Amino acid sequence: EDQVTQSPEALRLQEGESSSLNCSYTVSGLRGLFWYRQDPGKGPEFLFTLYSAGEEKEKERLKATLTKKESFLHITAPKPEDSATYLCAVQAPYSNYQLIWGAGTKLIIKP
Amino acid sequence: GAVVSQHPSRVICKSGTSVKIECRSLDFQATTMFWYRQFPKQSLMLMATSNEGSKATYEQGVEKDKFLINHASLTLSTLTVTSAHPEDSSFYICSALGKGNYEQYFGPGTRLTVT
């Protein structure tokens, strides 16, 4: 069964404390994995797309990596404004456009 | 680039009335848009795929006569919730497929409350 599992469900960090969020996936023939950030009461904001194992992408304090089974979103020296829910999704094998979503990780950065 | 807007951001309506939500791609043309529904503390649930100039494709369990979708132009898709009931209260989010890739860009969402 095609599915995406994110862990942990919630993560509380002190400002400046680096950590990683995990996104495990089981899908036949990965064609794309996406990371989004969602603030409360807002739509998701696109962060990264990863296509093949070994690929890495960075944006400010965030770095996304991809293996054949999972993706990590590394957060370096986070700030309170990085607090949000981070969503992972993979492109569905049966569609060019549809995504299979994880449940998200709620990240809280305490000052 | 890749900005998507939604209107209204919040709407309260009475049971039995209809509500229309607009989704616009502001700086790009989107032949494909998506409508999602999101319940509190849950992930996104795809309701339908909207293609410009053709009928929308609905996900299993989504009533097409209740959730009317019109994608009349390359920058506008609308979702009309007909004969709304309290159980239709939710956060509705649209997205547009970016040009030349498979990334979806999301609108800010519409909070619908049916009383």
Nearest-Cα residue of chain B relative to residue A5: B43
The answer to whether residues B103 and B1 touch, using CB atoms and an 8 Å cutoff, is no
A51: left (phi over 0), alpha (psi -120 to 50) or beta: alpha
| Residues in chain B closer than 8 A to A85 (CB atoms) | none
Q: Do A97 and B106 touch (CB under 8 A)?
A: no
| Residues in chain A closer than 8 A to B46 (CB atoms) | 98-99
Of B43, B93, B105, the CB nearest to A104: B43
pLDDT digits (tens, 9 = 90+) for A23-63: 999 988 888 999 999 999 999 999 999 999 999 999 999 99
pLDDT digits (tens, 9 = 90+) for B5-32: 999 999 999 999 999 999 999 988 888 9
Q: Which residue has the tokens 């807007």?
A: B5
Q: Do B106 and A103 touch (CB under 8 A)?
A: no
Half-sphere exposure of residue B4: CA atoms within 13 angstroms, side-chain side? 31
Residue A50 in tokens: 């990863």
pLDDT of amino acid B1: 63
What's the per-residue H, E or C state across chain B? CCCEEEECCEEEECCCCCEEEEEEECCCCCCEEEEEEECCCCCEEEEEEEECCCCCEECCCCCCCCEEEEEEECCEEEEEECCCCHHHCEEEEEEEECCCCCCEEECCCEEEEEC
| Separation between Cα atoms, residue A97 and residue B51, nearest integer Å | 11
| Separation between Cα atoms, residue B38 and residue B93, nearest integer Å | 8
| Separation between Cα atoms, residue B52 and residue B72, nearest integer Å | 6
Which residue type, as a one-letter code, is found at position B114? Answer: V
Residue A21 in tokens: 């969020």
| Separation between Cα atoms, residue B19 and residue B110, nearest integer Å | 11
Strands A10-14 and A105-110: parallel
Q: Do B102 and A97 touch (CB under 8 A)?
A: yes
pLDDT of amino acid B100: 63
Of B2, B102, B108, the CB nearest to A32: B102
Nearest-Cα residue of chain A relative to residue B35: A98
Helix, coil or strand: residue A55: coil
Q: What percent of chain B has pLDDT over 70?
A: 97
The answer to whether residues B23 and B32 touch, using CB atoms and an 8 Å cutoff, is no
Give the model's confidence band at B98: pLDDT under 50 very low, under 70 low, under 90 confident, else very high. Answer: confident
pLDDT of amino acid A95: 78
A87 Cβ under 8 Å from any chain B Cβ? yes
Q: Do B93 and A34 touch (CB under 8 A)?
A: no
